[in-house]
């Protein structure tokens, strides 16, 4: 009964978001193109530019990653969980994603190509066990900052970084939430997030933080699992399982319309948002992936 009740709430919330977006679309002046790629894609870009980041010097990072306000936000937005829970979740991410990573690898290769020659300082939100490090290996002089509130992810991420040939001094693990990133404005060339907006407490705030820390012309690469189509069997299953998923998978929501959030964040240079369906994740099969341009 409680599960059904919560499921209804999440359905209504998503439909309401769509209604809000529709009314925003009617007044927006930005150019929106609808194209087709795998399932469908939309491109929102007011200027039609693609922003290339040269090998420019970086602005200094905040002096301390553990800035007090971000520590407060970490405690507030992601209340501390028992060590065994964090360790179990980190271990399960490390051991259960092999099939998925195989299936998503062609998407990731294409996406991460956007960084080659354009990004040296990369921030990865929700870096987790570091499954993306291997895609940084052909980016010259890359250094990676990984934000994650689960401290147990650090050792796995460091191992992945080493396996990918990233020297320890080129990877920093930052114990924080993506809603309050302890970095200065315009301090990174690129932000990467895979399977993380499902888990943050506040998606809009996270996207605003991404825009804040990105340099002008910087890019945000994303791959996110999202709610299935309204009225589909998949969506019904997601509605039923959503409350349980949040408990067992560290706050992961099954019914988020993450593509809508990214569109509504209105990145300066627009966003390419594509849809894909991935069989290896069962009821998490619906995905959006793409690039947003700051």
Ligand X SMILES: C[S@@+](CC[C@H](N)C(=O)[O-])C[C@H]1O[C@@H](n2cnc3c(N)ncnc32)[C@H](O)[C@@H]1O
List residues near ligand X by CB under 6 A: 77-78, 93, 125-128, 131, 147-150, 153, 177-179, 194-196, 199-201, 250-251
User: How far separated are the first and last CA of the chain, in Å rounded?
Assistant: 44
Q: What radius of gyration do the chain's Cα atoms show?
A: 18
Q: Which is nearer to ligand X, 44 or 284 (CB)?
A: 284
Question: What is the closest distance, in whole angstroms, from the C-beta atom of residue 76 to ligand X in the complex?
Answer: 11
DSSP letter assigned to residue 4:
H
Closest listed residue to residue 61, CA positions, set 129, 112, 122, 118: 122
Phi, psi of 189 (to 5 degrees): -80, -30
Q: Can you spell out the DSSP letters for 154-195?
A: HHHHHHHHHHTT--GGGEEEE-S-TTS--S-TT-EEEEEEES
Question: What is the closest distance, in whole angstroms, from the C-beta atom of residue 102 to ligand X in the complex?
Answer: 13
Q: Which is nearer to ligand X, 178 or 213 (CB)?
A: 178
Q: Which is nearer to ligand X, 52 or 91 (CB)?
A: 91
For residue 12, what are the contacts with CB-CB under 8 A and spacing of at least 6?
none
Question: What is the closest distance, in whole angstroms, from the C-beta atom of residue 31 to ligand X in the complex?
Answer: 32
Q: Which is nearer to ligand X, 44 or 153 (CB)?
A: 153
Cα–Cα dist 236/259, whole Å: 19
Q: Which is nearer to ligand X, 77 or 139 (CB)?
A: 77
Question: What is the closest distance, in whole angstroms, from the C-beta atom of residue 218 to ligand X in the complex?
Answer: 18
The neighbouring-strand residues paired with 229 are none
Structure tokens at 136: 């940084």
Question: What is the closest distance, in whole angstroms, from the C-beta atom of residue 36 to ligand X in the complex?
Answer: 26
- At which residue do the structure tokens 């996207």 appear? 207
Residue nearest to ligand X (CB): 128
Q: Which is nearer to ligand X, 18 or 80 (CB)?
A: 80
Structure tokens at 229: 């189509």
Question: What is the closest distance, in whole angstroms, from the C-beta atom of residue 189 to ligand X in the complex?
Answer: 19
Closest listed residue to residue 100, CA positions, set 204, 195, 202, 217: 195
């Amino acid at each position: 009964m409680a599960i059904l009740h919560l499921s209804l709430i999440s359905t209504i919330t998503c439909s309401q978001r769509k209604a809000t977006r529709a009314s925003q679309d009617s007044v927006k002046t930005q150019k929106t193109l609808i194209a087709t790629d795998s399932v469908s894609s939309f491109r929102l870009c007011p200027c039609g530019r693609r922003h290339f980041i040269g090998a420019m010097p970086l602005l200094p990072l905040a002096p301390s990653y553990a800035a007090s306000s971000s520590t407060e936000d970490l405690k507030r937005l992601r209340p501390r969980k028992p060590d065994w829970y964090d360790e179990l979740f980190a271990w399960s991410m490390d051991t259960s994603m092999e099939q998925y990573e195989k299936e998503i690898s062609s998407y990731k290769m294409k996406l991460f190509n956007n960084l080659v020659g354009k990004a040296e300082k990369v921030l990865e939100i929700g870096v987790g066990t570091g499954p993306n490090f291997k895609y940084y290996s052909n980016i010259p002089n890359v250094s990676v900052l990984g934000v994650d509130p689960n401290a147990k992810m650090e050792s796995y991420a460091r191992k992945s970084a080493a396996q990918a040939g990233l020297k320890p001094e080129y990877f920093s693990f930052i114990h924080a939430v993506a809603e309050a990133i302890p970095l200065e404005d315009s301090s990174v060339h690129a932000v990467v997030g895979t399977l993380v907006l499902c888990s943050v407490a506040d998606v809009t705030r996270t996207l605003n933080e991404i825009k804040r820390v990105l340099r002008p012309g910087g890019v945000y690469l994303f791959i996110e699992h999202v709610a299935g189509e309204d009225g589909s069997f998949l969506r019904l299953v997601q509605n039923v399982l959503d409350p349980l998923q949040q408990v067992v998978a560290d706050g992961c929501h099954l019914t988020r319309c993450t593509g809508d959030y990214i569109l509504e964040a209105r990145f300066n240079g627009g966003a390419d948002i594509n849809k894909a369906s991935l069989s290896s994740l069962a009821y998490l099969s619906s995905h959006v992936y793409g690039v947003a341009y700051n």
